[in-house]
Chains A and B, each alone.
Chain A
Amino acid sequence: MDLLQTLKIALRALRTNKMRSFLTMLGIIIGIAAVIAMMAVGAGARHVIAQQIASIGSNIILVIPGSTTSGGIRIGTGASQTLTSDDVKAIMAECPSVETAAPTVRSTAQVVFGNMNWSTIIMGSTPEMFDIREWPTISGRGFTRQDVDGAAKVCLLGQTVAENLFGAADPVGKVVRIKKVPFTVVGLLERKGQSPQGTDQDDVIFVPLTAAQRKLVGSQFPNTVGAVLVKAKGEELLDKAESEVQSLLDQRHRITGAKEPDYSTRNLSEILAVAEQSSRAMSLLLGAVASISLVVGGIGIMNIMLVSVTERTREIGIRMAIGARKGDILLQFMTEAVLLTMIGGLIGICIGAAGATVVSGILSWPTLISIESVAIAFFFSGAVGIFFGFYPARKAAGLNPIDALRYE
C-alpha cells in the first residue's frame, strides 16, 4: 500500500470529523505555539545580550573609585577620586594579564556649534579607550598619544551628538565649544547603540584625558581619574587580570588587612551573565509549560484515536478481509495520528510566530524565529503523534478480522 493512498485515507478520516479533529489538535497547537514563542523570545534575548557584549567590548574589567571615609562621613562609591593617572600607567606596566587600560574622567556639559546646542557627557580618555571598547571612527581620525600629552583641544563626537549639532553634515574639522572652550572635531565615532543599562552610548563627546582634566573638570586634584577600563589579554585571563589589578592597587594605596579598599573592580561579563541567566530561566519556564501542553495534547490524541478505532472496527474488518495486512492497518492509524499532530504543529508554528511578532511589537521585547526552532517544533509534533498514536494503531492492527467484521 503506497504512502499517498494512506495519506489520502487519513485525510478523509480527519475531514469526516472536522470539529473533533480540530479540538484534538488544540492541545498540540497550544504546545507548539508555546515552544515557538519561547524559542523566539529566548533567541531574541540572547541576540540582544550578544550585541551588548560586543558593544561594550570583550574581556573588560571596570575599576571605579571606591568609597572613602573622611571624618566619619562615608562618601559613596565613585563619588571620590582616589585613582590617578599613575595608577593606570602602573596597571599597564605591571600586570602581566592586562593587555591595556584606559582612564576616564567624566563630566556633563553643554556643547555649542553655531546656533545649535546640546547637553551631553564629556568623556576624557586616552587612545587605548577605543581599542578596549572596539570603537572605531567612521570619519576623521582617532586620538593620538600627542593629543593626550599636549592636552590638545580636539574631540571625537558620538553619533547622537553629531546628529543634534550638525544634522547630516560632516562635523570633522568644525570647531565646537564645550564649556566655552573651543575644541576641533577630529573624528566621528561609529554607532554603538544602547548599553545593557539602556542608556544611549552614542550621546557622548570624547576629549583627550589631559584636556578634560585641565580645562573641563574642575577637580581639586589635577591628576585624578574616574573609572578605569582594563582589558584582559583573553577571556580565560579575566579573573587573573582582575586579581592582579586588585593586588597592585592595594599595594599602591597601602591597603592592608581589614582596611577597606578605596576602589572597586567589576567584571562586565558577570553583569551580562546575570542577564543571560534570567533569559534562560524564562526559556526554561516556557519550555516546561510547552512540554506539559504537548503531553496533554498527546494524551488527547491517543484518546480520540482509541475512540476512532472502536468506531471504525467494521471498516478495519472490511480492509482486513480484502487483504490489508496488520502493517497496513497500523500504518494507516499511525498516519492519521501523525497527520493530526503535524497539522496541529503547523498551525501552532503560525500562531507562535504571530504571537512572538505581536509581543515584540507591543512590549518592544526582541524576538527571533529561527529555522531550527521551526524544524524542532515540527519534528516534535510529529514525534508526539508517533508516540501517542502507536498504542491505538496497534490495537487496530491487532483486531481479529472475523470479530471486526461482525462488530455492530
Chain B
Amino acid sequence: MGEVISLNDIHRAFIMGGQRFEALKGVSFRVAEGEFVAIMGASGSGKSTCMNILGCLDHPTSGDYLLDGLDVGRIAPDQLAAIRNRKLGFVFQGFNLLARTPAVENVELPLVYAGIPARERRRRALAALEQVSLAGKENNHSSQLSGGQQQRVAIARALVNEPAVILADEPTGNLDSATSEEIMALFTDLNRSGITIIMVTHEADVAACAGRRITFRDGLIIGDSQTSQTD
C-alpha cells in the first residue's frame, strides 16, 4: 500500500516572551494508506503541534512533510486551505459544528468551499450521514442532537470530501464511555473500509482500537509500536 504521510525530521520552534521554545525537535514517521494510528503523550509533549502540522494548519520550522505525495511544508496559505479541503478531514474534541445550522448543511460545508454544485453537495452529504447511521436526522440542528450524534455529524463532515486522511483530535474526550465506544466502533469500521485515520488520545482503551501507537514526549517520538488488533 502507498504512503499517505511522510514526516522527515520535523522541527517546530515558537518564540515566546523572547525565548525560543522548541515544541518538536526532529520528528519523523510515515503512515501508510489504510493505517489507524493513535498518537499519545502528556500535554506539552508536542503531539498537538504535530497534529497542527499534519492538519496543514501550521508550518514546520524545518523538515519535510509529504501529504499524499505533495510537499506541503512551505506552500501559501490559500493553497494550504485547498489541501485541507481536499485531502484532510478533521474531527475535534468539541465537535465544532456550526450552531443553528442543520446537520446536512454542516456536512456540506467542505463541499461548499470545494465549489461543488448544490444538488451534488446535498446528495453526497446525505450519503455521508447515512454512513455514520444518522439518516433521517439531516434537518436537526446541533442543539437537537446528543453529543454522540453531534460527533457523528462531525465525522460525516470529515468523510464527505473523501479525504486521504482523517485527523481526529481526542474525538471521545467529551463523551461518556458508552458513546465513546460507539464512536470508536464507527472509526474502526471506517478504517476497515480503507480510510486512513490518525487520532490523538489520552485514553489507553481508545488507543487500543488503533493498529499503531506513536508516543510523544518533550517534542520527540519515544515509542512507535504496532498493537495487536482487539475487536
- Which chain A residues border B90 with CB–CB below 8 Å? 321-322
B85 touches A322 (CB 8 A): yes
Q: Given A321-B57, A326-B78, A12–B100 Cβ distance below 8 Å? A: yes
What 0/1 pattern do residues 1 to 41 of A give for CB contact below 8 A with B? 11011000000100010000000000000000000000000
The interface-forming segment of A138-146, A281-289, A312-320, A338-346 is A312-320
- Closest A residue to B169 using CB positions: A405
Interface hits, B153-168 → A, CB 8 Å: 157, 161
Residue contact B57 to A402, C-beta cutoff 8 Å: yes
Q: Is B52 an interface residue (CB 8 A)?
A: yes
**B92 and A323 contacting across the interface, CB-CB below 8 Å:** no
User: CB of B84 within 8 A of chain A?
Assistant: yes
Question: How far is B110's CA from A156's CA once the two chains are assembled, in angstroms?
Answer: 83
Say if the beta carbon of B133 comes within 8 Å of chain A. Answer: no
- How distant is the Cα of A261 from the Cα of B34 in the complex, in angstroms? 111
Does B100 contact A322, Cβ atoms closer than 8 Å? Answer: no
Docked-complex contact A401 and B96, CB < 8 angstroms: no
A18 to chain B, nearest CB (A): 12
Tell me the minimal C-beta distance from A104 to chain B in angstroms. 77
Is B113's CB within 8 Å of the partner chain A?
Answer: yes
Determine whether B82 belongs to the interface, using a CB cutoff of 8 Å to chain A: yes
Name the B residues within 8 Å of A323 (CB-CB).
81-82, 84-86, 110, 113-114, 161
Q: What interface size band does chain B fall in?
A: 20 to 34
Cβ-defined contact, B109 with A322, below 8 A: yes
**Cβ of B85 and Cβ of A402 under 8 Å apart?**
no
- Closest partner residue, chain A, to B87 (CB atom): A323
Q: Is the CB of A402 within 8 A of B52?
A: yes
Complex CA distance for A1 and B99, rounded to whole angstroms:
20
Q: Scan B47-75; emit 1 where CB is below 8 A from any A CB, else 0.
A: 00000100101100000000000000000
> Which residues of A from 65 to 94 have beta carbons under 8 Å from B?
none
- Measured CB to CB, the nearest residue on chain A to B101 is A12
B185 at interface, CB cutoff 8 A: no
Cβ of B173 within 8 Å of any chain A Cβ, yes or no, is no
Contact A327 B55 (CB under 8 A): no
Tell me, yes or no, whether A328 is within 8 Å of chain B by CB.
yes
B109 touching A319, Cβ below 8 Å: yes
Known: A320-B81, A323-B84, A402-B57. A315 touches B115 (CB 8 A): no
Question: A interface vs B, CB < 8 Å?
Answer: 1-2, 4-5, 12, 16, 314-315, 317-328, 401-402, 405
25 contacts between A and B (CB under 8 A): A1-B113, A12-B100, A16-B100, A314-B96, A315-B98, A317-B96, A318-B96, A318-B98, A319-B109, A320-B57, A321-B84, A321-B96, A322-B84, A322-B113, A323-B82, A323-B113, A323-B114, A323-B161, A325-B77, A325-B81, A325-B82, A326-B77, A327-B78, A405-B92, A405-B96
Interface residues of B (CB under 8 A from A): 52, 55, 57-58, 77-78, 81-82, 84-86, 90, 92, 96-101, 109-110, 112-115, 118, 157, 161
